[in-house]
């Protein structure tokens, strides 16, 4: 009779372990998809597991670390899920476009300053000031 109880307990423990792991994975996915900060505390709270249990799961631990470092700088409101974040190439293109715009605006600013200086010089020469 003890053997039957041991088998039943082992099966129950395995099932509980599987369900716990499933909840933790779902919590990771949900937090990331919602753009929320993915931390050991947030995953543990969402999944209903302990942080120490998460630290003992190497694959979950590395995924939390990955999402924590690439995630919303670190917990800004309205953050973008990792699947929708800009690539390095697109960020480089945006930076180049921004720098081009700054160069254009500086040139325009310089031209307008020269026009103003000429106009003031002309007014002074005409004795209007």
Distance of CA 52 to the CA centre of its chain: 24
CA distance 129 to 122: 10
DSSP 19-74: HHHHHHHHHHHHHHHTT----HHHHHHHHT--HHHHHT-HHHHHHHHHHHHHSSTT
CA distance 39 to 75: 10
Count CA within 13 A, CB hemisphere, residue 10. 6
Distance of CA 40 to the CA centre of its chain: 15
Q: Where are the domains of the chain?
A: 1-84, 86-129
pLDDT in tens, the chain (129 residues): 455 778 888 888 888 888 999 999 999 999 988 888 899 999 999 999 999 999 999 899 889 988 888 765 444 445 566 667 778 888 889 999 999 999 999 999 999 999 999 999 999 988 876
């Amino acid at each position: 009779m003890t053997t039957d109880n041991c088998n039943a307990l082992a099966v129950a423990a395995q099932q509980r372990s599987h369900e716990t792991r499933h909840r933790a994975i779902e919590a990771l996915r949900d937090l990331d998809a919602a753009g929320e900060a993915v931390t050991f505390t947030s995953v543990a709270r969402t999944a209903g597991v302990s942080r120490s249990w998460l630290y003992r799961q190497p694959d979950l631990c590395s995924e939390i670390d990955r999402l924590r470092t690439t995630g919303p700088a670190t917990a800004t409101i309205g953050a973008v899920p990792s699947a929708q974040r800009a690539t390095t190439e697109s960020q480089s293109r945006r930076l180049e476009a921004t720098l081009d715009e700054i160069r254009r605006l500086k040139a325009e600013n310089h031209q307008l300053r020269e026009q103003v200086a000429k106009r003031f010089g002309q007014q002074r020469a005409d004795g209007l000031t």
